[in-house]
Chain A
Amino acid sequence: GQQLNQSPQSMFIQEGEDVSMNCTSSSIFNTWLWYKQDPGEGPVLLIALYKAGELTSNGRLTAQFGITRKDSFLNISASIPSDVGIYFCAGLDNTNAGKSTFGDGTTLTVKP
């Protein structure tokens, strides 16, 4: 089946630093999604990408849909303590009733 390779698995950074994480796949996706899971909660959508090459920002977050449609990255600028959590990428091929393939997640720790 489809698999996403998400990296890094975990990150420990200082408050104020920038963060970058990415996802790669052997399959093409038509939509890339980035979710964040706060401790004790379910994942929540951060950014959705619909076109190859698309670059989208949401506040301090920026995500890009790779040209090959097999990868995506998420950047967080000037990290703050509340950025702590698990970040998941997800790919959608629009052929499976909205089913997304999720990456294994990147656990982010921000030290004040």
Chain B
Amino acid sequence: DAGVIQSPRHEVTEMGQEVTLRCKPISGHNSLFWYRQTMMRGLELLIYFNNNVPIDDSGMPEDRFSAKMPNASFSTLKIQPSEPRDSAVYFCASSESDTQYFGPGTRLTVL
């Protein structure tokens, strides 16, 4: 199994640009989670889906952030417009029960 796949691994963009992060969960997993990790705030849950339906998006910081899961094998996290304070590592994780399997993360730098 390839595990959770995230792309891109690194993204450098300028303030105001749109950023789209992508995630392919492990096949058969029915829950998908998006996290943001920074030194200051640690690991924060942004949103999670169950059976492709968003269950809790209370962690999404602002309306600039949106996430979709059009099918069981793909999810996106979009930031529009991006700001320097959005710089962080964004992780996607999937699960079928209690254990979450994390992807390698996308390191986002907004200049």
Contact = CB atoms under 8 A, between A and B. Distances in A.
In this complex, the interface size class of chain B, counting residues with CB under 8 Å from chain A, is 20 to 34
B71 interface: no
Contact of A42 (B42, B50, B99, B103): B103
Contacts of B55: 96-97, 99
- Report which residue of B101, B102, B103 has the largest number of chain A beta carbons within 10 angstroms of its beta carbon: B102
Given A98-B31, A102-B43, A105-B43, A43 B102 contact: yes
Contacts of A48: 98-99
B95 A42 contact: no
Contacts of B104: 40-42
B77 interface: no
Given A98-B31, A99-B45, A105-B42, A42 B93 contact: yes
Interface in A34-69: 40-45, 48
A43 B100 CA distance: 9
Contacts of B43: 43, 88, 102, 104-105
Given A33-B99, A98-B31, 4 more contacts: A42-B93, A88-B43, A98-B98, A99-B56
